[in-house]
Amino acid sequence: MAVDSFATATAALRALVDEADRYLATLPGPGVADVRAGVAEWRQGPVTPAVATTANSVVSAHLPAALALLGLDRPTLSLAIAEAAPALDWVSYDRYPPADIGPSFARGHAYARIIGDGATIPARDFDLGLFLIAPHVLYRDHHHPAPELYAPLTGPHGWRFAPGAPLIMKHAHEPVWNPPDEPHATKVGAVPFLCLYGWTRNVDLPARVMPADDWPELEDLRLEP
Ligand SMILES: [Fe+2]
């Protein structure tokens, strides 16, 4: 990476952390303060922009639409994400057995750590990142020891907090706090799911899928825009 582009990417990543924290400060509910405390602890760390080799296909296909929607009501955050996105290392979560998590989620999501182990800003046992899922994908019921804040930047999307329970619709900017090992699932609506997420501890412990017998109908379901 050339010196100029390194400096530009570094500035974009710092600006994204600042903008994400400003956004989190506007949200109600549990977990927001915990994530902001982690951001405050780690935000001054060194920044290492990712050197993208090939574009992530989920990001190419769905991030522009998600950011266009976000730009309607949070234009500065949308712009900050757009400018930092090329300097982030977008990957798939690879710790689920493929048969458990299913092919549509496995092929239909990407996430990028902004702060965390191996991220642009390194941190111990704390993650802040962006999470993107294609429209209509079901992120099957799962749980993990990490306490987790989702701050959805698009919506509406469907949620549930017990396998087999009915979906609850939540709009953009309605945060979801998942205490350690509490089950949760997300059914993406008609628009791409984009969120800021925070894991406040236990980030190295894997997530696990929880079986439910209604996945086929939820995977076929098309939620209204
Ligand atoms: Fe989760």
Q: Global pTM?
A: 0.96
Indicate the DSSP class of residue 69.
Answer: H
- What confidence tens digit (pLDDT) does each residue in 128-164 have? 999 999 999 999 999 999 999 999 999 999 999 999 9
- Report pLDDT for 53: 65
Residue 52 — pLDDT band, cuts 50, 70, 90?
low
| Residue of 154 and 2 predicted with greater confidence | 154
- Report pLDDT for 119: 84
Q: How far is the CA of 27 from the centre of ligand 1 (A)?
A: 19
Let me know: does 131 contact 114? Beta carbons within 8 Å.
no
Residue 124 host element (H or E):
none
In the chain, what is the greatest distance between 2 CA atoms, to the nearest angstrom? 53
Q: How far is the CA of 1 from the centre of ligand 1 (A)?
A: 34
Break the chain down into helix, strand, coil percent, rounded to 5. 35, 20, 45
* 109 closest CA partner among 127, 133, 126, 93: 133
Indicate the DSSP class of residue 178.
Answer: E
Amino acid at 162: A
Residue 187 — pLDDT band, cuts 50, 70, 90?
very high
- What confidence tens digit (pLDDT) does each residue in 18-48 have? 999 999 999 999 999 999 999 999 998 899 8
- Report pLDDT for 1: 60
- What confidence tens digit (pLDDT) does each residue in 83-96 have? 999 999 999 999 99
Q: How far is the CA of 158 from the centre of ligand 1 (A)?
A: 14
- Report pLDDT for 51: 76
| 3-state SS class at 141 | strand
Q: How far is the CA of 177 from the centre of ligand 1 (A)?
A: 9
Q: What percentage of the chain has pLDDT greater than the value 90? A: 89
Q: How far is the CA of 160 from the centre of ligand 1 (A)?
A: 12
